[in-house]
C-alpha cells in the first residue's frame, strides 16, 4: 500500500486526507503535527508528532504548513532521495524547495484553494524535472482529492494562480458580505438576505460552469436594456469595480512573489 505523509495537520491537510479516505484511494496515510489538538481531528488516521518518523518510507511527503515554518518542517522531515515532495505553501518556489532537499529530489509545487474542504477546490500545480510520470500521477491523485487540478509547465504562472484561485474565494465572500449588508439596508431580514445572496452565487456559479458560454455573454443575457440590472451594473462600472479587482489580483500576485523572496532567505 502506498504511504502518504502529511506534514502539518491544518485545514488543507484535513481536506485532502478526508477526500482520499472518502474515495477509498488505497493509501496508507500518516499525519504529523506538533499540536495534539490538530491531530485529534484525524480520527482513524495514523498520526505522529515527529516529522521524520511520519516521512520515513513514504512515497510522497505533502508539506501542508505555513510558508513561515516550511523550511524548518522540510528539514525535520528529512526526505530521502527519490521520495516525492509536494508543497502547498504559497510562494515557495521549486528551486528553494530543492535547495532544502537532496540533489535530484522530485518536487511538486502547488496552490490549492479552500473549497477543497468540501471537495470543490481547484489546484494549480507544477513539477520539477526530477518528477517521474508515475510520481506526477501520484501527485494528481493526492491533489484531486480536493477537486480539479490544473498543471503548468512554467512555474511563474503559479503566482497568477495564487492571485486568482488561491485568494479568489475571499473575493467572492467579500462580495457576498456586501450583498447581504445591502439587502439588510434595503429592508430584508439578515437571514433572508443571506439565503438569497448565497443561492444567487451558487446558481450563477453553476451557470458559468455548465457549458462553453463565457461570463460576458451570461451577463448580457440577464441585463435587459433600461432595466434594474443595467442600472446596477452601470453603477458598479462607474465606481471602478473591474479596476479594483484587477488591482487586487495584481497586488496578490506581488505578495506571492514577496513570499517567495522571503522563503528564499530561509534556505
**Banded model confidence at residue 23, pLDDT cuts 50, 70, 90:** confident
CATH code for the domain in which residue 61 is found? 3.40.50.720
Task: Out of 15-29, 43-57, 149-163, 199-213, pick the least confident.
Answer: 15-29
DSSP state of 79: P
Q: Indicate whether 100 and 190 sit together in one domain.
A: no
CATH code, domain carrying 196: 1.10.3730.10
114 in the same domain as 220: no
Cβ count within 10 A of residue 244: 11
> For residue 197, is pLDDT > 90?
yes
Is the same domain home to 68 and 143? yes
Tell me if 265 is assigned to some domain: no
Chain centre to alpha carbon of residue 263 = 18
Same domain, 145 and 28: yes
Task: Report the pLDDT value the prediction gives residue 266, as an integer from 0 to 100.
Answer: 60
Split into its structural domains, the chain has a count of 2
Q: Is the pLDDT of residue 265 over 70?
A: no
Q: Is 111 helix (H, G, I), strand (E, B) or coil?
A: strand
Residue where a domain terminates, one of 138, 157, 176: 157
Within-domain flag for 162: no
Q: Which of 134, 157, 180 is the last residue of a domain?
A: 157
Residues 26 and 102 in one domain: yes
Asked if residue 251 belongs to a domain, the reply is yes
120 with 232, same domain: the answer is no
Establish if 35 belongs to a structural domain.
yes
Mean pLDDT on 138-161? 95
Q: Same domain for 54 and 112? A: yes
Sign of CA dihedral 1, 31, 110, 146: positive
- Final residue in a domain of this structure, among 102, 136, 157: 157
Range of the domain at 97: 2-157
Query: Is the same domain home to 94 and 190?
Result: no
Query: Which residues lie below 8 Å from residue 140, measured CB to CB, with a gap of 6+?
Result: 149, 151
> pTM of the entire structure?
0.91
Percent of the chain with pLDDT over 70: 98
List pLDDT tens digits, range 68-100: 889 999 999 999 989 999 999 887 899 999 999
| Spatial separation of the C-alpha atoms in residues 120 and 93, rounded to whole Å | 25
Does 152 share its domain with 181? no
Residues 151 and 193 placed together within one structural domain of the fold? no
Reported as a single tens digit per residue, the pLDDT across 162-186 is 999 999 999 999 999 999 999 999 9
Alpha-carbon separation of residue 78 from 139, 154, 222 (angstroms) = 19, 27, 56
Does residue 130 sit in the same domain as residue 209? no
3-state SS track over 21-46? HHCCCCEEEEEECCCHHHHCCCCCCE
Amino acid at each position: 500500500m502506498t504511504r502518504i505523509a502529511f506534514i502539518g495537520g491544518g485545514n488543507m491537510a484535513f481536506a485532502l486526507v478526508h477526500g482520499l479516505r472518502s474515495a477509498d484511494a488505497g493509501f496508507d496515510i500518516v499525519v504529523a503535527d506538533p499540536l495534539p489538538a490538530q491531530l485529534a481531528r484525524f480520527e482513524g488516521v495514523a498520526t505522529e508528532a515527529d516529522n521524520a518518523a511520519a516521512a520515513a518510507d513514504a512515497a510522497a511527503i505533502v508539506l501542508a504548513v505555513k510558508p513561515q515554518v516550511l523550511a524548518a518542517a522540510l528539514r525535520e522531515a528529512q526526505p530521502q532521495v527519490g521520495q516525492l515532495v509536494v508543497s502547498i505553501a504559497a510562494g515557495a518556489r521549486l528551486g528553494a524547495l530543492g535547495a532544502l532537499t537532496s540533489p535530484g529530489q522530485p518536487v511538486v509545487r502547488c496552490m490549492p484553494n479552500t473549497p477543497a474542504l468540501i471537495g470543490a477546490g481547484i489546484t494549480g500545480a507544477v513539477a520539477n524535472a526530477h518528477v517521474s510520470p508515475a510520481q506526477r500521477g501520484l501527485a494528481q491523485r493526492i491533489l484531486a482529492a480536493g477537486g480539479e487540478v490544473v498543471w503548468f509547465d512554467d512555474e511563474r504562472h503559479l503566482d497568477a494562480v495564487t492571485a486568482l484561485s488561491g485568494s479568489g474565494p475571499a473575493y467572492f465572500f467579500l462580495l457576498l458580505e456586501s450583498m447581504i449588508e445591502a439587502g439588510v439596508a434595503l429592508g430584508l431580514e439578515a437571514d433572508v438576505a443571506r439565503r438569497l445572496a448565497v443561492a444567487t452565487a451558487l446558481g450563477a456559479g453553476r451557470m458559468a460552469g455548465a457549458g462553453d458560454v463565457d461570463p460576458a455573454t451570461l451577463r448580457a443575457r440577464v441585463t435587459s436594456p433600461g432595466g434594474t440590472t443595467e442600472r446596477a451594473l452601470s453603477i458598479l462600472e462607474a465606481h471602478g469595480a473591474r479596476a479594483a479587482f484587477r488591482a487586487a489580483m495584481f497586488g496578490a500576485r506581488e505578495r506571492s512573489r514577496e513570499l517567495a523572496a522571503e522563503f528564499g532567505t530561509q534556505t
